[in-house]
Every structure is written in structure tokens, then in C-alpha cells.
């Protein structure tokens, strides 16, 4: 869901922070529940949470949740699959195109993932189950 700068409130910031925290905690759960299953197949499984920037409402801030699956047998550690969910991203744009400088007429907007926490957890679980059902 897109938000304009005028919509940047403490309530929105709290909502973003709660979702970020919940997904960060969920990454620990996913690792605990799935690490051994992937290890048995000689596949490295990792789930993580990443933040770029320090202020939710400043351009350049981006929080993501990712699952990566890597081949342990291959010495180069070939990436087999990567699934990234952008939770919140704040950027400056001019005529719909991202810009890095404060150009007159540019606007600051933010985009929050549309799915609820429950839907995101289901999406991640389905992604893992789908990968495990394939032969590698």
C-alpha cells in the first residue's frame, strides 16, 4: 500500500515497526524449524531480516525479509533460490521515477507490504514447502 508523506504518522511508524519485529522473530522460528530438513539434503537454508537506513520516513529506508537456499555441494555455493519480501520502502520520486536528490517537485512516498502478518507467514511456509517438494 502506498503512502504519501502527509500520511507519515506515528501510528504508521508503529505499524511498520511491529511488522518488522514480528518478521524478524519469525526468521528465527523458520530457521529452527527448517534447518535440519535442508541440512539432510545438503542444502543451506537461511532466513533473514535486513534494514537499510535509520529513519522509516526518510528516502533510502528499506526493510526486507528474505529466504535464501544455497547448494552446499557446489564449491561456489550456487544460489538455488531467493525469496525477498519488501516490508517498507521510503523513496523520493519525480513524475513516478525514483530520484536521489531533493529536486523541486519531487515527493517522498512509502510503500508498505499489502499482506497481513498471517498471510506473509503462510506465503513463506508455502514457498519452503514448494521448494522441498522439488528434487534438487
- Residue spans of the domains in the chain: they are 2-133
Instruction: Give the three cell numbers for residue 32.
Output: 529452527
- The pLDDT value given to residue 74: 67
Contacts 24+ apart (CB under 8 A), 93-100: 100/59
DSSP state of 61: -
Instruction: Determine the Cα–Cα distance for residues 86 and 18; give it in Å rounded to an integer.
Output: 15
C-alpha cell at 91: 523513496
pLDDT in tens, 17-67: 999 999 999 999 999 999 888 888 888 899 999 999 999 999 999 999 999
* pTM, full prediction: 0.85
Centroid of chain to Cα 132: 21
Does the pLDDT of residue 77 top 80, yes or no?
Answer: no
Q: Are residues 87 and 20 in contact, defined by beta-carbon separation less than 8 angstroms?
A: yes
Residues 70-85 have a mean pLDDT of 78
Amino acid at each position: 500500500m502506498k503512502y504519501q508523506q502527509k500520511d507519515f504518522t506515528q501510528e504508521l511508524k508503529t505499524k511498520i515497526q511491529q511488522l518488522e519485529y514480528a518478521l524478524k522473530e519469525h526468521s528465527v522460528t523458520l530457521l529452527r524449524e527448517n534447518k535440519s530438513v535442508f541440512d539432510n539434503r545438503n542444502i543451506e537454508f537461511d532466513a533473514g531480516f535486513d534494514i537499510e537506513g535509520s529513519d522509516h520516513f526518510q528516502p533510502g529506508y528499506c526493510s526486507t525479509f528474505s529466504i535464501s537456499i544455497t547448494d552446499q555441494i557446489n564449491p561456489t555455493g550456487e544460489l538455488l533460490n531467493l525469496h525477498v519480501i519488501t516490508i517498507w520502502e521510503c523513496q523520493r520520486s519525480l513524475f513516478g521515477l525514483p530520484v536521489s536528490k531533493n529536486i523541486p517537485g519531487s515527493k517522498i512516498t512509502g510503500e508498505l507490504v499489502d499482506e497481513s502478518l498471517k498471510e506473509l507467514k503462510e506465503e513463506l511456509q508455502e514457498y519452503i514447502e514448494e521448494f522441498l517438494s522439488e528434487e534438487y
